[in-house]
Structure 1
Amino acid sequence: MTFPFQFNLFGDAVNLHIIFETLAFFIGVRLYYHLKKGIADPISDINRLWIMLGAMIGALIGSRVIAMLETPSEIWQQTWLTFYQNKTVAGGFLGGLFGVEAMKKIIGVKTASGDIYVIPIIVAVFIGRIGCFSMGVTEATYGVETHFIFGMDLGDGKLRHPVALYEMAYMVLLFVLFRKIKHKTMLNGDRFKLFMVLYFLYRFLVEFIKPYHPLFLGMSSIHWSALFLFAYYYKFILRLIRYA
């Protein structure tokens, strides 16, 4: 197995990552519209479009800012090109969350809007991580060296944790969980909050088996992003623990 996975297009080598990144977005959007059919949505179509715009703008900014903070020693060497090219899903989720909340305040929507996006997000992340795995060590989604049974040579001759594969497996578990609780009575918005908490819990833990750069107190920007998310949703987490 040779990393990164590539194919020839008109004589040029093209990484498969770009294919899966595009597929993740396309399939995620199509799945959202499929699930939306037949649902009495309390939010109008035009407001949904505004909310999605807020999410995309927030995700665009958040994914780049958190990615920049992943390598603190290189912050002042960043160019606009490197700033734009580097991105992280966790930062995208955080930025998207606050982009949505800001847009909802602007358009006057007070209804929780995230539940319908949970399954499309899970599917999109799974597909996107196939592309990340295909890049091996040429993209920062690989783990530290290990003698664990799942250790793989991701292109540098060393056995490493295949973190992208771990996340794909985790997305499968989340998909099963959310399908299982599909008809469970929950407050509007709680499914999205549950997804965010569970995803950032995974990212907080898996960061310890990645070659990260500490930002503050020995923890990376991903660790701090997760802690910030937990603090933001602390009322939900306490309620979840109380009724578990």
Structure 2
Amino acid sequence: MSGLAVHTLFDVLAWIAAGAAALWLTRVRKIAFPAATTDLPYLAALILGAGTGAVLFGTLNMIVSGVPAVARSVEGAIAGAILAVELYKQGIGLHLRTGARFALPLAIGVAVGRIGCHLAGLEDFTHGTPTALPWAHDFGDGIPRHPVQLYESAAMALFAIVYVVNVMNRDAAWIDRGFYLAVGFYGAQRFVWEFLKPYGTILGPFTVFHLLSAALVVWAVYMLSTAKKPGDANDRAVAEI
């Protein structure tokens, strides 16, 4: 199977896993997330923003790295989706915070998807820089490299475990603000792994994704600091049946 086919397969698996995680929390565990909208325009904004951000930042990174080609980026998709949804809500005057139920799907989706990036090999251009560490991986060119995709997968899987434990304990802070925690954690761990990737820099030692990661962390911190108290009755929905 080609690298592209493997990547596509795991993209599909990531979406399935993310959807299953969301259904498990709401339908099986009956977690009551803050009130949210899932109408068609909202979903359209989310999907359009994610697709645009994925291609925009993925391609920009390739150009900066001296490999001009169209590419996609999961971090670009996250940032694009957030921006598009926030603009949509501003446009219709919606002041509810609508991301809470996406925390676990985000973590699970990235954890699964990054395994596909690793299995896709050099063709995927998500591999790490050369290293002599014992767990280095040779993608077929004789050069042992950091398996940064697996670093990211493990980090997000760890977040998912911590998130589930807290949510199962009905910790209102994690239920209400989990998406901001997920985005902030994602941005922080991604910022670290970027130093182990062969991407071109855009500002000093920083790559496109260093800057995007920092922006996501800043956004998450801002949203956390301005969030209402956990469990505010005006922001919560009854458990879904």
The TM tier, using the shorter chain, reads 0.7 to 0.9
1:98 is aligned to 83
**1:114-129 map, 5 Å:** 114-129=99-114
Length, aligned pairs only? 222
Corresponding letter in the other structure for 1:123: I
SS at match of 1:215: strand
2:197 is aligned to 210
SS at match of 1:112: coil
Question: Which of 169, 180, 199 is residue 193 of structure 1 equivalent to?
Answer: 180
Question: What percent of counterpart residues are identical?
Answer: 26
**1:30-109 map, 5 Å:** 30-37=20-27, 38-40=30-32, 42-46=35-39, 49-73=40-64, 82-83=69-70, 86-109=71-94
Instruction: Sort the Cα spacing of 1:74 and 1:196 in 2 relative to 1 into closer, same or farther, 3 A.
Output: closer
**Structure 1 vs Structure 2 CA RMSD:** 2.7
Instruction: Sort the Cα spacing of 1:173 and 1:63 in 2 relative to 1 into closer, same or farther, 3 A.
Output: same
2:19 is aligned to 29
Corresponding letter in the other structure for 2:160: F
Contact 1:112 1:189 in 2 (8 A): no
Instruction: Sort the Cα spacing of 1:44 and 1:194 in 2 relative to 1 into closer, same or farther, 3 A.
Output: closer
SS at match of 1:186: helix
SS at match of 2:173: coil
Q: Which has the higher contact order (CA 8 A, sep 6+)?
A: 2
Hey, what's the Cα distance between the residues in 1 that align with 2:16 and 2:31? Answer: 21
Moved more, 207-216 or 64-73: 64-73
Could you list the runs of 5+ residues in structure 2 that have no partner in the other structure?
228-241
Corresponding letter in the other structure for 1:137: L
Give deviations 1:112-157, integer Å, cap 9, x for gaps: 1111111112111122112111111111111011011210111211
Instruction: Sort the Cα spacing of 1:137 and 1:187 in 2 relative to 1 into closer, same or farther, 3 A.
Output: closer
Hey, what's the Cα distance between the residues in 1 that align with 2:26 and 2:211? Answer: 34
Name the TM-score, length of structure 2 as normaliser: 0.81
Could you list the runs of 5+ residues in structure 1 that have no partner in the other structure?
1-5, 8-12
Q: Structure 1 residue 176: deviation in Å?
A: 1.2
Corresponding letter in the other structure for 1:156: D
Give deviations 1:188-244, integer Å, cap 9, x for gaps: 75211111111011111000011110112231100111122233344356689xxxx
Instruction: Sort the Cα spacing of 1:45 and 1:199 in 2 relative to 1 into closer, same or farther, 3 A.
Output: closer
Contact 1:32 1:116 in 2 (8 A): yes
Contact 1:151 1:159 in 2 (8 A): yes
Give deviations 1:42-81, integer Å, cap 9, x for gaps: 23453xx433322211111111111122134578x95xxx
1:3 is aligned to none
Contact 1:151 1:161 in 2 (8 A): yes
Instruction: Sort the Cα spacing of 1:185 and 1:50 in 2 relative to 1 into closer, same or farther, 3 A.
Output: same
